[in-house]
Homo-oligomer: A and B are copies of this chain.
Amino acid sequence: MSHQQTKKVLKNMPSIPASDQMHQAAEYFKSLQERITKAFEGLEEGASFECTAWEKTPEDRLQGYGEMRLMRGDVFEKVGVNFSFVHGVFSEEFVKQIPGAEENEGRFVACGISLVAHMKNPHAPTVHMNLRRIETAKSWFGGGADLTPTIEYEEDTTHFHDILKQACESYSETAYPTYKKWCDEYFFIKHWNEPRGVGGIFIDSLDSGDQLKDFAFIKEIGDAFLDSYMPILEKRIATDYSDADKQKQLQKRAKYVEFNLLYDRGTKFGFMTGGNPEAILMSMPPVASW
C-alpha cells in the first residue's frame, strides 16, 4: 500500500490523525520488511515467504492494515516478519498504562515491524527484532533486537552486540549501555531466574524531544539488523548437530514461549487491543518441548 493509500484508509476511520512522522515511519518499516525478507529468502533453496495482507474494517475495535510474512524452510524452521499500521481506542484498563492516552480519550495510532526467526539448526540462534512508533497525545518510538542461542558462541554474542553498539553510538554515548541494560532487565524469565537469551538492546520509549533525531536512530537500528544477524547465520546453519542438540533447542524454545505468553508486553498489547491472534502468535516457535 502506498503512502497515499495509507492516508486514504485512515481518513475513513473515526480516530486521531497520524502525523507525517508516523507515515514516514510506516514507509521505512515496510521497506525494511521487504529488505529483510529478501535477504532471508537468499539463504533458502526452495522456500519463500508467504505474504498475507490484512485490513481491519471500521466494525473492529482495532482498525488499520498490515502484512504478515511467514516462511517455513530448510534453514529457517519458522520465521515471521510482520508489518502493521493500526489505530483505535485502548481499553479502560490499558489507558492508564500508556503515556498520553488519558489526555486523548484512549485513542492511539501505531505502526511497527516485528520479527522472530526460529532456525532449524540449534547452533544458529533465535533472533527477535521489533521497531515501532506510537502516537497518543504524546508520541514516541520504541523497539530493539535480542539474540537467544541454544548453544552459545561467544564470538556470535560479541558480534551481535558490537553491531548494535555501533548503531547506538550515532545517537548518543549513553544509548548503548542504557538500552543494553533495559534489554537484560526486560528479557528475564522470573520464574526460572534466568535471562531469555544473551541480550541486545531494548528501547521502551524514545522521546528526546527531537523527532528527526529519534527517527534517524530507529533507522540506524533497523539498517543494522541484517549486519548483526546474517553473518552469524552464515557461520552456523551448516554445522552438524545431534539429536541431543535439537532436543536442547526445543526445551530452550519452551522457555521462549513461557516468556512471550507470561511476561511480554507486546503480546499483551496485541491481545488487549484486539489484535489478530495469528499475527501476535507469529513469534511462537514451530515446535517446542516441555
Contacts and interface: CB of A to CB of B under 8 A. Distances in A.
A226 interface: no
A8 interface: no
B254 A284 contact: yes
Contact of A290 (B190, B258, B286): B286
When all copies of this chain in the complex are counted, the total is: 2
B271 A261 contact: no
A192 B289 CA distance: 22
Interface string A180-193: 00000000001110
A285 interface: yes
Interface residues of A, number: 21
Contacts of A281: 258, 290
Instruction: Count chain B CB atoms within 10 A of each CB in A254, A262, A287, A288 and give the residue with the most.
Output: A288
A175 interface: no
A209 interface: no
Given A287-B289, A289-B287, A271 B78 contact: no
Contact of A287 (B78, B261, B288): B288
Contacts of A284: 254, 290
Contacts of A254: 284
A89 B78 CA distance: 43
A278 to B, nearest CB: 10
A271 B277 CA distance: 25
A134 interface: no
A250 B286 CA distance: 10
Instruction: Count chain B CB atoms within 10 A of each CB in A191, A254, A281, A284 and give the residue with the most.
Output: A191
Interface in A60-85: 78
B191 A280 contact: yes
A257 interface: yes
A190 B258 CA distance: 18
A289 B286 CA distance: 5
Contact of A261 (B190, B258, B280, B286): B258
Contact of A191 (B277, B286, B288): B277
Contacts of A287: 250, 287-290
A120 to B, nearest CB: 14
14 contacts: A191-B271, A191-B277, A191-B280, A192-B277, A257-B257, A257-B288, A258-B261, A261-B261, A281-B290, A285-B290, A286-B289, A286-B290, A287-B287, A288-B290
Interface of A: 78, 190-192, 250, 254, 257-258, 261-262, 271, 277, 280-281, 284-290
